Structure 1
Amino acid sequence: MRNFGYARVSTSQQSLDLQIQALKAEGVKPNRIFSDKATGSKADREGLNLLRLKVEEGDVILVKKLDRLGRDTADMIQLIKEFDDMGVSVKFLDDGISTEGTMGKMVVTILAAVAQAERQRILERTNEGRIEARAKGIRFGRKPSVDRSQVIKLKRSGVQASEIAKQLGIARSTVYAICKQEVDV
């Protein structure tokens, strides 16, 4: 029996350090820890795919928390079934549960459904916040870096689009887009 570890964070700005420390504290060798900096809603992740190739019958995969393996219930069930078919069990450190045995599989399935529901609630709250912000006139996205009035002023004074782009350090297509919007308004 060999112990393997899996750690995941959702974005490249987040740190895997705490998860990796927890896995090492459980005796997982550093060369047997696989990780991803990717969303858990997709099962096709590089680190997870490598882990799938390395594990063999009798091995145990340690994961700090259930939602680190995945957030989508169907994907979680499929992953657990895939590992179970290989004779590999998954143990979740913080939750204190394992896929060994029928009860363990059932508990993991229920917790995976809860994790997915929580993800849906987060998305709903985020979308509600965006809608409310838009209603208050808050604009999203990058702030315009081009002085539109200057482009229009130069164009009205007869300066060609290429020259405007050169003077303002912007693309000619940007000049055309601003002029087109001015005409459409």
Structure 2
Amino acid sequence: MRLFGYARVSTCQQSLDIQLKALAEQGVEPHRIFSDKESGSHLNREGLQTLLMKVEKGDQVLVKKLDRLGRDTADMVNLIKEFDNMGVAVRFIDDGISTDGEMGKMVVTILSAVAQAERHRILERTNEGRQEAKARGVKFGRKPKIDKTRVIDMRAAGKSATEISRELSIGRSTVYKICE
């Protein structure tokens, strides 16, 4: 039996380090760990697809937590079936469950449904918070680009850095940097 590992985070800004360390502590060799930095809402992930190509009957795939493998219950059930048809067991380290046996598959299916429901609740709370913030006047998105030529022209016209920063809603230090 060979051990493989899978790790996933949702964005490039997040770190895989904790998951990779947990997999290494379980004895997974670094060249047998596959990872993705993208959403778990679909199965078309490069690391996951490569893992599916590499595993063979009798292998075991370790994943730190259930939601790292996927978010959608139907996708998770299909993925577990696919591993099962290949004769590959999946073990979730933190959750203490494995797809070995019928009971394990049932528990994974139930927990997948719970994970999907939690994801929907998180999205609902996030959207509610965003709507409340908008109602209070909070603006989202990037700040508009600063028109550097306008700053230079205003400075040349004799306006102080404080006057320019107030008029354009930028920091005085920004005015000084532009005018250097």
TM-score strictly above 0.5: yes
Which residue does the alignment assign to 2:51?
51
* 1:99 maps to 2:123: no
SS in 2 for 1:94: coil
Shift of 1:134: 1.2
| Distance across 2 between alignment mates of 1:22 and 1:146 | 45
SS in 2 for 1:40: coil
Shift of 1:133: 1.0
SS in 1 for 2:81: helix
Opposite residue 17 of structure 2, the aligned amino acid is: D
* 1:129 maps to 2:132: no
| Distance across 2 between alignment mates of 1:15 and 1:25 | 17
| Distance across 2 between alignment mates of 1:127 and 1:120 | 11
SS in 1 for 2:31: helix
| Distance across 2 between alignment mates of 1:142 and 1:13 | 17
Shift of 1:144: 2.1
| Distance across 2 between alignment mates of 1:131 and 1:60 | 44
SS in 2 for 1:34: strand
Which residue does the alignment assign to 1:157?
none
Which residue does the alignment assign to 2:61?
61
Deviation track 1:53-83 (CA, whole Å, cap 9, x = no partner) reads 0000010000000000001101100100000
| Distance across 2 between alignment mates of 1:127 and 1:49 | 32
Mapping for residues 13-162 of structure 1, pairs under 5 Å: 13-145=13-145
| Distance across 1 between alignment mates of 2:88 and 2:146 | 57
SS in 1 for 2:78: helix
Identity over aligned pairs, percent: 73
Opposite residue 83 of structure 2, the aligned amino acid is: F
Unaligned runs of 5+ in 1: 151-185
Shift of 1:146: 5.2
| Distance across 2 between alignment mates of 1:25 and 1:136 | 48
Root-mean-square deviation (Å): 1.1
SS in 2 for 1:62: strand
Opposite residue 5 of structure 1, the aligned amino acid is: G
TM-score (norm. length: structure 1): 0.78
Unaligned runs of 5+ in 2: 151-180
SS in 2 for 1:8: strand
TM-score (norm. length: structure 2): 0.80
| Distance across 2 between alignment mates of 1:111 and 1:132 | 31
| Distance across 2 between alignment mates of 1:142 and 1:97 | 43
| Distance across 1 between alignment mates of 2:133 and 2:15 | 30
| Distance across 2 between alignment mates of 1:105 and 1:15 | 29
Shift of 1:139: 1.6
Deviation track 1:3-22 (CA, whole Å, cap 9, x = no partner) reads 10000111111111111111
How many residues align structurally? Answer: 148
